[in-house]
Amino acid sequence: MSEENVSLLPPKHIAIIMDGNGRWAEKRGLPKNAGHAAGAETFRKIANYCRTLGVKYLTVYAFSTENWKRSQDEISGIMLLMERYLREVLRDMDKNRVRICVFGDLTRIKPKLRKLCEEAQEKSAGYDDVQVNFCLNYGGRDEIIRAVKAYCAAVQAGREDVSELTEEKFANYLDSGGVPDPELIIRPSGEMRLSNFLTWQSVYSEFVYMDVLWPDFSPSDLDAAIAEYHRRNRRFGGR
Ligand code: IPE
Ligand code: IPE
Ligand code: MG
């Protein structure tokens, strides 16, 4: 970390759009899945680094509700990497003590991977030092629609009263229920858009877009993003 920021606390919640795997592979004449494999390695490295810095929540965009438009081969490759990572998480759970949460609609995910997601979430539910949220078949709008449906079901069952609905209450129906909004959202790869990421949660997040491809993203890039975050003047609509 640069000297200027060494005394500043990192954001409590950082979210990352892990983008640029395809271009990274293309530049090297490799198949797309080689880019995703390299991206998965970067994720491991950055998750560890976040933990060293004392970041409490890390949310990563792994597969969007729009990513089904890709080839079957690419989709299977991404799902396989996810499976591999979750097996690793389950194996090393007692050592790492990281809470794993999966955001997204898992009904479309194959049973084997879905079971791993559920197992990792259940078994790590007691760890509360660090939490990693994986966004898998995740779309911000889809998340809101699923939350509306769950809320309406609660109203019909007499557990909720519409006249008492507040933003805070509604947020509990989102996949991110109980997790504070991210202060910082980072997108590598040079693209400057959210691509359906954290639609509800990002209203006051600071965005940092970076020109590095995700597989090349390093701890010093994260330092730079955090330093940029600390230079921002967050007003939340006030003076
Ligand atoms: C991000 O990398 C990973 C996923 C969307 C699953 P991309 O595969 O989108 O990489 P680019 O944007 O083509 O470089
Ligand atoms: C966003 O990246 C989704 C993930 C990183 C998982 P995309 O590559 O799918 O987004 P677009 O197509 O550039 O908007
Ligand atoms: Mg992309």
Q: What does the pLDDT look like over 39-57, one tens digit per residue?
A: 999 999 999 999 999 999 9
Point out the catalytic residue in the list 5, 67, 105, 196: 67
Q: 187-206 pLDDT, tens per residue?
A: 999 999 999 999 999 999 99
Residue 222 CB–ligand 2 contact under 6 Å: no
Model pTM score: 0.96
Cα gap 228→239, rounded to integer Å: 21
Percent of the chain with pLDDT over 70: 97
For 107-116, write each residue's pLDDT tens digit. Answer: 999 999 999 9
Cα(25)–Cα(140) distance, integer angstroms: 27
Segment 134-163 mean pLDDT: 98
Q: Which atom of ligand 1 is nearest to the CA of 191?
A: 12
Q: Is the pLDDT of residue 169 over 60?
A: yes
pLDDT in tens, 72-111: 999 999 999 999 999 999 999 999 999 999 999 999 999 9
191 lines ligand 2 (CB under 6 A): yes
